[in-house]
Structure 1
Amino acid sequence: MVKDNIIALHQKNIADGAASLFINKGFTATSINDISKLAGYSRRTIYKYFESKEEILYYLIIEGLEYLIQSIEEGFCSCKSFISRYEHYCECMLYFYENYPISAQSVDQFQSKAYLNITPSVERIFTLGENINDILALWIKEGKEEGVLEESLETLPTVYILSSNIHALLKLITTKGSYILTYLQMTKEEFLSHGYTMNLKSILK
């Protein structure tokens, strides 16, 4: 147990150092040497904890997705109405984008297994994504039972479209927020609230 905790600590330190480099330089431009210098670990030690630079990226993606699934589950347990759960989901997604940017920015790469080298980490990423979709699918079904959604609404397509729209909204505010907010003379909160409301209205009765 102690050994596992030590391993987890070193992996976390290395990954945190890599994350800042991936954000500032980009994944491709970042080398193991760069990570070694910033994180304070030798190349040999880094390879002791991660087989490759890709595995460090996967670690960061998994870290973000694990936060996301836990926070969604916790909130959905305490929020009882469809609307309050939607508001909580939006809050979780915003926190995900702001605090786990590497995970949020990289998750789109995992839409198909066809072009990926399938490692245990990659499998874990797909599993977490499927788990999140399962939670959202149950939420949509409960919305139908609650009477706020049309019974004819197809569950899984709705999950994919709804979550994709929120991803796109947050990606937009992340990449072009300064220009958009200045042009529209809106705050970030006002813009996101407007987007969330439009998204929600598209599925309500």
Structure 2
Amino acid sequence: MARRIKEEPSVHRKRIADAAEKLFITYGIEKTTVSMIAESAGYSKATIYVYFENKEEIVAYLVLNSMALLKKEIYEHTSKDSRHKENYYGVCEGIINYKKKYPMYFSLLQDVINVDFSAGKYFESEKDTYIQGEEINNYISELFALGDDAFVVIFTFWASICGILSMADKKTEYIEKQAKVSKKEFVQLELERLYRGFFR
């Protein structure tokens, strides 16, 4: 225990969050308890509450970290020197890679987020997640010079690509039977349709 006392709070928070992440993936967020997280991380339950207010704050911490990973994926696959179509497919590739690597976070990405930080109680990581998300959206807006229509176009794009990827996973057999194409081919066809509608 003496070793841990000397460590920075950020080290403890990361250790706890890493343990929680594994449990969330295995059992789901709802079924994972703080007691389970404490046991897995090697802390007492009381100590968990020293570093996180509750399980919801741990989730918020993990979502913030995942947002940074999404940002990294998108930035690595795009460039302000590239053409629109190259950047469009770069953004799509970044999102697809993110979904493959972090399916739990891809799902959480579509949940309700806190956007009002003027009053009331919120976790600092929620505010940071919002800021990161806006940075991603602003970057996409700049890539395609969207101007005044940026919010509508980007929001609709996110809704569309998330819907396509989620439905392709859930309806693979139906797609193959009705459209006579593989899931991957179907996704590519729909991404091309989106490009023609939004970014060409």
Identity %: 25
1:102 aligns with 104
CA RMSD of aligned residues (A): 3.1
SS at match of 2:79: helix
Q: Is the 8 A contact 2:80 2:143 kept in 1?
A: no
1:202 aligns with 197
SS at match of 2:133: helix
Deviates more, 1:35-44 or 1:79-88: 35-44
Q: Residue 112 and residue 7 in structure 1: after superposition, are their counterparts in 2 closer, same or farther (change >3 A)?
A: closer
Q: Deviation of residue 135 (structure 1)?
A: 0.7
2:151 aligns with 156
Which residues in structure 2 correspond to 1:122-201 (within 5 Å)?
Answer: 122-141=126-145, 154-174=149-169, 176-181=170-175, 183-184=177-178, 186-201=181-196
Q: Is the 8 A contact 1:61 1:102 kept in 2?
A: no
Unaligned 5+ runs, structure 1: 145-150
1:72 aligns with 74
Pair 1:26 & 2:28 matched = yes
Q: Is the 8 A contact 1:79 1:85 kept in 2?
A: no
Q: Is the 8 A contact 1:66 1:128 kept in 2?
A: yes
Q: Is the 8 A contact 2:70 2:98 kept in 1?
A: yes
Give the aligned residue type for 2:112: Q
Deviates more, 1:71-80 or 1:55-64: 71-80
Q: Is the 8 A contact 2:63 2:108 kept in 1?
A: yes
Distance (whole Å) between structure 2 residues aligned to residue 197 and residue 82 of structure 1: 13
Q: Deviation of residue 177 (structure 1)?
A: 4.7
Distance (whole Å) between structure 2 residues aligned to residue 26 and residue 72 of structure 1: 27
Q: Deviation of residue 129 (structure 1)?
A: 1.3
TM-score by length of 2: 0.79
Unaligned 5+ runs, structure 2: none
TM-score by length of 1: 0.77
Q: Is the 8 A contact 1:36 1:43 kept in 2?
A: yes
Q: Deviation of residue 118 (structure 1)?
A: 2.0
